[in-house]
Amino acid sequence: MGGKVITALNLVTYDNCNITKEVLSEIIRGGISKVKEADGVILGGHTIEDIEMKYGLSVTGTIHPKKIIRNNSTKPGDKIILTKPLGMGVISTSIKADQAPKSAIDKAVFHMKYLNRTASEIAVSVGVNAMTDVTGFGLLGHLSEMINSNTSIQLDYNSIPFIEEVFDLAEKGFFPGGSYRNQQFYEPKVKILHHKIPDHKKLLMYDAQTSGGLLISVSQEKAVKLLDRLRSTGIEWAVIIGEVGESAKSQITIG
């Protein structure tokens, strides 16, 4: 939404039966490094014992109340830009099954630890109409949140970026449960015109992501400038995947 990170608290549930203190230390050290990268400060945190290891951060930030970038303020004629490829949910699930090739793991880790900070700051400086991130609801779930009563979204399926190895893993069924729930919930809002897309590739558009990229709705006049600035900072995988149309149907059409 264009905010700036100020402070963060570690939130840890520690499985001390299966996770060593050395691994716990590495998890916390990784979190600290990302908070520092975002120019934030760790104030402390809370740790409890649990049967399942979990780690997260409670983050406090600031933003001018008149400069908040909302997720549902898209305008007809806007271009939709995605700043990271899809596939993290499928790859994470295949890692748990010990079926992910090293190349897929390396790419997923690279993108998941790549902060959205730079992309957000560039979007704020250029001036965009709407923005959100792609996480648990998948691409189509978060796009559904960007539609308002006056807009619809048309996607170009062939422009959507995926981590290459994910197609084979998806065909083998390595989807997290959240991806199926996303499809069940959001599919009524989606119309697919591209009839040759196989089922596993359709499901990839609902795949629940971890640390996915940003979805940015920006005017056509600013889209090329924004894309050029993103790529000039090293986010070369950012791409225009569709555009916003004027419609009362509030639908996503994929062609």
Domain assignment of residue 188, given as a range? 79-254
Residues 102 and 188 in one domain: yes
Structure tokens belonging to residue 80? 């939709």
Residues 172 and 224 in one domain: yes
CATH number for 14? 3.30.1330.10
pLDDT of residue 81: 98
Residues 137 and 57 in one domain: no
The total number of structural domains in the chain stands at 2
Q: Is 110 helix (H, G, I), strand (E, B) or coil?
A: helix
Residues 51 and 146 in one domain: no
Q: Are strands 130-133 and 41-49 parallel, antiparallel or unpaired?
A: unpaired
207 lies in some domain: yes
pLDDT, one tens digit for every residue, the chain (255 residues): 899 999 999 999 999 999 999 999 999 999 999 999 999 999 999 999 999 999 999 999 999 999 999 999 999 999 999 999 999 999 999 999 999 999 999 999 999 999 999 999 999 999 999 999 999 999 999 999 999 988 999 999 999 999 999 999 999 999 999 999 999 999 999 999 877 899 999 999 999 999 999 999 999 999 999 999 999 999 999 999 999 998 877 799 999
Residues 194 and 250 in one domain: yes
Residues 146 and 182 in one domain: yes
- Residue 146 buriedness (CB in 10 A; 0-12 / 13-18 / 19+): buried
Residues 28 and 125 in one domain: no
Residues 215 and 162 in one domain: yes
CA distance 119 to 230: 6
pTM of the predicted structure, to 2 decimals? 0.92
Residues 90 and 42 in one domain: no
Q: Is 180 helix (H, G, I), strand (E, B) or coil?
A: helix
Given a contact cutoff of 8 angstroms between Cβ atoms, the answer to whether 10 and 46 are in contact is yes
CATH number for 159? 3.90.650.10
pLDDT of residue 122: 97
